[in-house]
């Protein structure tokens, strides 16, 4: 029990702090991409003690941001549905945090002695060994959309409402490719348990290499699920002011914003765990199936996992400034006409290749077989990608038909 409480505390404290500093990183990255300096001033306010302020490259910024949000007036507009308005941010944040119960934030800690008692080996998951890990993550991340819809609905504001509607449509659309992307991983690893999936990748190879098509589908869908650019339609400033959180201010707004960041961090965790080998890195992270590992290996695994997650988050932020936002019809086309078929192709291809390996392959995997499987999956990837590109379903002509007589068409223009 104590162990779980400590792990929860470490995890929640860790991701909350991380979220705060990722906000700073996001702002600095935004500045750098735009040839600016970015927030670089808030450090230690030693001038309160009569000394010179320390700037510390702006590392005090998250504290200042948080303080600002807390000190702000907690304004509740008169036209909102009060109960749902208050519940919405709590729902979204609770769902976002609860997801981390089954997500491993490391591998193992070797046995150790604490106060004369022998403890361990400790699994670095709050609730280790959950066999339906992925399904649990899915279920909870779907609940997050409730927070968004509740917020948009309770605000009683057309922009919020539109934001909520967009969000629900978008999340439902992208759950499918997300699920199909995972299906291949589950099929290959033979488990829904996230720790076992990481271990399987250590043995078989990273699924990003083995199932490139599934990887791409999953990454795109994860961006959409996290509502990050170029998929941030639920809260696009240019169209909807603030989307579903237009009417929120102060602490409640802070909860929404933190939850959004947690979604991104969750997505990064899943990308790393499911496709980028989790804690695995060739040569330095030890035996995949070992139940007891040494301290250096444990540390190496921890560092590798979090290093990968950090890089994926940086990629998220980098992408943000590289693409403009999709139009809603493009968003839907991408989901239903590209990502869903590609996901199905990936699923079928993985199933066939796994079957071939099981039925015809040697018991001990050989280099030739592994390379053959990888080559086959890349061929499938290239062929499927080429086919979708030529079919070109992303381009829609939504201009009014001009060949119709003017009487017949009541043009939306």
Residues 6+ apart with CB under 8 A from 4: 126, 127
Tokens of 85: 């308005």
Is there binding between residue 52 and another protein (CB under 8 A)? no
Among 18, 24, 29, 302, binds another protein (CB under 8 A): 29
For residues 402, 405, 408, 410, the Cα torsion angle rounded to the nearest 10 degrees is 50
Is there binding between residue 396 and another protein (CB under 8 A)? no
Among residues 75 and 323, whose Cβ is nearest to another protein? 323
> What's the closest the beta carbon of residue 405 comes to another protein, in angstroms?
8
Is there binding between residue 78 and another protein (CB under 8 A)? no
Is there binding between residue 57 and another protein (CB under 8 A)? no
The percent helix, strand, coil of the chain (3-state, each to 5) is 65, 5, 30
Stretch of 105-113, 126-134, 191-199, 389-397 contacting another protein, by CB under 8 A: 389-397
> What's the closest the beta carbon of residue 329 comes to another protein, in angstroms?
14
Cα–chain-centroid distance for residue 307? 15
For residues 349, 276, 316, 179, the Cα torsion angle rounded to the nearest 10 degrees is 40
Among residues 122 and 394, whose Cβ is nearest to another protein? 394
Among residues 294 and 392, whose Cβ is nearest to another protein? 392
Among 31, 69, 127, 303, binds another protein (CB under 8 A): 31
E runs forming strands in 67-167: 108-109, 112-114, 117-119, 122-123
Nearest by Cα to 381 from 238, 266, 213, 256: 213
Stretch of 90-98, 99-107, 152-160, 384-392 contacting another protein, by CB under 8 A: 384-392
292-301 contact pairs (CB < 8 A, 24+): 292/108, 292/110, 292/111, 292/121, 293/107, 293/108, 293/110, 293/121, 294/110, 295/110, 298/106, 298/107, 298/108, 298/109, 298/110, 301/106, 301/107, 301/108
Is there binding between residue 392 and another protein (CB under 8 A)? yes
Stretch of 17-25, 129-137, 325-333, 383-391 contacting another protein, by CB under 8 A: 383-391
Is there binding between residue 321 and another protein (CB under 8 A)? yes
Stretch of 5-13, 32-40, 276-284, 367-375 contacting another protein, by CB under 8 A: 32-40
Among residues 64 and 394, whose Cβ is nearest to another protein? 394
Query: For residue 288, which phi and psi values (nearest 5 degrees)?
Result: -70, -40
Is there binding between residue 34 and another protein (CB under 8 A)? yes
> What's the closest the beta carbon of residue 59 comes to another protein, in angstroms?
16
Instruction: Give the span between the Cα atoms of 402 and 89, in whole angstroms.
Output: 47
Is there binding between residue 411 and another protein (CB under 8 A)? yes
Instruction: Provide DSSP, 323-357.
Output: SPPPPHHHHHHIIIIIIHHHHHHHHHHHHHHHHHH
Is there binding between residue 385 and another protein (CB under 8 A)? yes
3-state SS assignment for residue 44: strand
Stretch of 140-148, 339-347, 351-359, 381-389 contacting another protein, by CB under 8 A: 381-389
Whether 108 and 122 have beta carbons less than 8 Å apart is answered as yes
Among 32, 46, 79, 327, binds another protein (CB under 8 A): 32
Among 8, 40, 191, 370, binds another protein (CB under 8 A): 40
Q: For binding to another protein (CB under 8 A), which residues are involved?
A: 29, 31-37, 40, 318-319, 321-323, 385-386, 389-390, 392, 394-395, 399-402, 406, 409, 411, 413
């Amino acid at each position: 029990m104590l162990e779980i409480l400590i792990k929860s505390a470490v995890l929640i404290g860790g991701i909350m702090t991380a979220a705060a500093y990722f906000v700073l990183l996001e702002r600095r990255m935004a500045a750098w991409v735009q040839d600016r300096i970015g927030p670089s001033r808030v450090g230690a306010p030693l001038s309160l003690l009569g000394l010179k302020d320390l700037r510390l490259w702006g590392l005090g910024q998250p504290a200042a941001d948080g303080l600002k949000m807390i000190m702000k007036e907690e304004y509740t507009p008169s036209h909102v549905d009060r109960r749902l308005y208050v519940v919405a941010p709590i729902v979204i944040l609770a769902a976002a945090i609860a997801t981390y119960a089954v997500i491993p934030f490391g591998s193992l800690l070797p046995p150790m002695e604490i106060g004369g008692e022998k403890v361990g080996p400790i699994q670095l998951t709050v609730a280790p060994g959950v066999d339906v890990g992925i399904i649990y993550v899915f279920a909870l991340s779907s609940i997050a959309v409730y927070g968004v819809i509740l917020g948009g609905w309770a605000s009683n504001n057309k922009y919020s409402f539109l934001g909520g509607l967009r969000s629900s449509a978008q999340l439902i659309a992208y759950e499918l490719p997300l699920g199909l992307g995972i299906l291949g991983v589950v099929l290959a690893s033979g488990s829904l348990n996230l720790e076992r999936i990481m271990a399987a990748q250590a043995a078989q190879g990273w699924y990003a290499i083995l199932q490139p098509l599934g990887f791409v589908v999953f990454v795109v869908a994860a961006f959409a699920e996290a509502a990050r650019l170029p998929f941030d339609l639920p809260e696009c400033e240019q169209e909807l002011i603030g989307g579903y959180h237009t009417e929120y201010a102060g602490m409640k707004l802070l909860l929404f914003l933190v939850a959004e960041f947690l979604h991104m961090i969750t997505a990064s965790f899943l990308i790393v765990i499911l496709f980028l080998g989790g804690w695995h890195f060739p040569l330095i992270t030890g035996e995949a199936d070992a139940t007891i590992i040494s301290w250096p290996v444990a540390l190496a695994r921890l560092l590798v996992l979090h290093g990968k997650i950090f890089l994926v988050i940086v990629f998220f932020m980098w992408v943000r400034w590289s693409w403009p936002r999709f139009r809603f019809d493009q968003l839907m086309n991408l989901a239903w006409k590209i990502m869903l078929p590609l996901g199905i192709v990936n699923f079928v291809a993985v199933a066939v290749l796994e079957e071939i390996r099981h039925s015809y392959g040697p018991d001990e995997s050989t280099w030739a077989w592994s390379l053959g499987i990888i080559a086959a999956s890349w061929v499938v990837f290239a062929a499927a990608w080429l086919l979708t590109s030529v079919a070109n379903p992303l381009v829609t002509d939504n201009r009014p038909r001009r060949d119709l007589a003017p009487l017949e068409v009541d043009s939306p223009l």
